[in-house]
Structure 1
């Protein structure tokens, strides 16, 4: 327990006091390299605390080459962080040198201690006259300045917004890490005179460091790996186009476009999961409940994945004790829950296995069972698998990819329906996930004109996204 007599002045806290800067640098480098977007982390005054990643020649060779330009950048960084803190979301803005940047604040107990910045891009072709005036203002060579701006990457506003959202999620994670680190510092001060709590502190520090390392490792892997695959495929196309026949190029495109698309789905999945988990944690994740037949929804979702199971010769069986049960639920969230459990079942079930989806009627609630004949889960992991970023066995990553976010998100979505989810498993025999979903009706249903109704025309893209980290041999 933290002793209030050992409070730390948050106004004096710096990023390096609560976050490992080397670990932060590693993630920042991976983020910048993967998305080909410049990035840097600054303190609350706009001064860098990390080495800039993937900075453009425009900024390094011109803007930052003068004291005036450098000081104006620091001022932009400071104001960007303050505005992002004020509005509580990523802040996208045009810097003093005319490029698009975005800021995500790092907060401790609501106090800003720094900002993660990304950008140095444009969303439209640059107007040369504008940059001539900027060059004059910061006293740099006008010709070189205009030539360098021509090389700036041009993105769509949607892509800029997506990159800003990823950075905002990371900033939120860093804020939590910083908060926990601050608490550990308070505990450490207290334990200087409370020797009897020393073992507890060491254990908490060990678990915290493990979580912190796993967080950055998971995010970096899940973002970087698909991007590398897509980039490699594009390089292959470029090589094929040089002196190769049109027929061979089309043949290669048919093969590698599927690989690129699947890895795009992987990126969409991990980013969507991170954003949704973040929304749930801060209370901004909405439910759209409607009274409908839950049995039909579960059956339709189950049948929609049969073609994926057939690729591994896995038999999927749906059974129910009751043909119809009207209750209030969000169909899109139920689809997310079921697709995640079914994708896991296929992922960890060998060729020729079996998956049973069964619905049991318990009067005031239904019990949904998703049971497989897969590899199983160790008993000591059954309680941990619903924790964020937890995976059963990291050594299985090459066989079954994943961020470890899915089951944590499933648990949150089930609980938002006032339900419960548990797991039973035996190594080498299989696993069973049980969802207890209470029967409730709502008087005022969600607006079906604004949101999806429960009569979902199941989106094939949703299934592809959820199954994107499964590779069929």
Structure 2
């Protein structure tokens, strides 16, 4: 019997059945004579009543017995405390069991979801690795014939240089610039693939950041800056410029920053400065008076393949890999990079390196 029927028949809800039976038995054990008399009444009643009503009558009698015992039990005030303790114990036990079961179910669900997420992550990482390996392989295949083309163009240019007209010279220059642009793009893809796959192994050594890296890069970019009538300024404001780092990746960091400074500046200057701070760190700043960037774009600046101007109608060429690589190379050399920029005013990139 369940629900309202059980309550109407017995006088209490089924979920308290065990508790109330316990309460009934406590005084019953102390009053054995009373229980004996009640058992005789039950037995006699069972003999006189027809078989069809024995079961119902037995239940009614038990309910009556329970009511008597409960009244006797509650007649003593101290038993109220015992009753409350038993109820509290039962409720606490029930709550503890439910909490344990809920935690067990939750843990099982979390374990299942964690395994599913791990499988999805592994699959995504594997897919990304395959993509990077594919790009690296294709870049190698493209770069090799481009180098051959560049070499042959240089030979033809030398042969025809004496008798060539200015129009032919411009044609060769145009081919050379386009080829270098392709090589530049391929190198960026290769470098990014190496960083993503984890195949690039840095060679850490003592490097003079002034003589080994920055001075050379400034000399290499002088012609590029002069072709746009830009000032290229280099200031070394510290004597100690020795750091421990990977020379190739450090060169790539500042080559990208200087190249971008010149590319995105129409007039004015690009200034490179090296100095140290109170924490004995070396700070290299690359500043320009170029187009600058919006504050909204700065949070996406170091993401791969991201540019503020997009589409085929964009003003400046590029693939959005340069600064993403700069960020990864800074991490490789235990360096931090900061940027300040204002649209239409210019940008300043600040690389902070440990002076070891």
Q: TM-score range by the shorter chain?
A: 0.5 to 0.7
1:59-112 deviations in whole A, cap 9, x for unaligned?
xxxxxxxxxxxxxxxxxxxxxxxxxxxxxxxxxxxxxxxxxxxxxxxx946879
SS state at 2:283 partner: strand
How many residues are matched? Answer: 227
Q: C-alpha displacement at 1:6, in angstroms?
A: 9.4
Per the alignment, residue 190 of structure 2 pairs with: 275
Distance (Å, rounded) in 1 between the aligned partners of 2:318 and 2:252: 16
Per the alignment, residue 52 of structure 1 pairs with: none
Task: Indicate how the Cα distance of structure 1 residues 248 and 428 shifts in structure 2: closer, same or farther if over 3 A, else same.
Answer: same
Per the alignment, residue 416 of structure 1 pairs with: 332
Distance (Å, rounded) in 2 between the aligned partners of 1:396 and 1:376: 20
Q: C-alpha displacement at 1:248, in angstroms?
A: 8.9
Greater share of helix: 2
Q: C-alpha displacement at 1:337, in angstroms?
A: 1.2
Quick one: which of 318, 322, 340 aligns to 2:238? 322
1:255-277 deviations in whole A, cap 9, x for unaligned?
22222222221121111111111
Distance (Å, rounded) in 1 between the aligned partners of 2:167 and 2:283: 47
TM-score scaled to structure 2, two decimals?
A: 0.55
- Runs of at least 4 residues off by over 4 Å: 5-8, 109-112, 246-252, 395-398
1:294–1:324 contact (8 Å) kept in structure 2: no
Does 2:219 correspond to 1:303? yes
Distance (Å, rounded) in 2 between the aligned partners of 1:375 and 1:111: 39
Quick one: which of 160, 172, 177 aligns to 1:257? 172
Quick one: which of 268, 285, 288 aligns to 2:203? 288
Quick one: which of 296, 306, 315 aligns to 1:399? 315
Q: C-alpha displacement at 1:168, in angstroms?
A: 9.3
SS state at 2:286 partner: strand
Distance (Å, rounded) in 1 between the aligned partners of 2:336 and 2:283: 10
Per the alignment, residue 99 of structure 2 pairs with: none
TM-score scaled to structure 1, two decimals?
A: 0.42
Per the alignment, residue 166 of structure 1 pairs with: 138
Distance (Å, rounded) in 1 between the aligned partners of 2:276 and 2:136: 45
Distance (Å, rounded) in 2 between the aligned partners of 1:287 and 1:357: 25
Per the alignment, residue 183 of structure 1 pairs with: none
Per the alignment, residue 27 of structure 2 pairs with: none
1:47-68 deviations in whole A, cap 9, x for unaligned?
xxxxxxxxxxxxxxxxxxxxxx
SS state at 1:418 partner: coil
Distance (Å, rounded) in 2 between the aligned partners of 1:110 and 1:424: 33
Task: Indicate how the Cα distance of structure 1 residues 250 and 279 shifts in structure 2: closer, same or farther if over 3 A, else same.
Answer: same
Task: Indicate how the Cα distance of structure 1 residues 404 and 397 shifts in structure 2: closer, same or farther if over 3 A, else same.
Answer: farther
1:360–1:368 contact (8 Å) kept in structure 2: yes
Larger Rg: 1 or 2?
2
1:371–1:430 contact (8 Å) kept in structure 2: yes
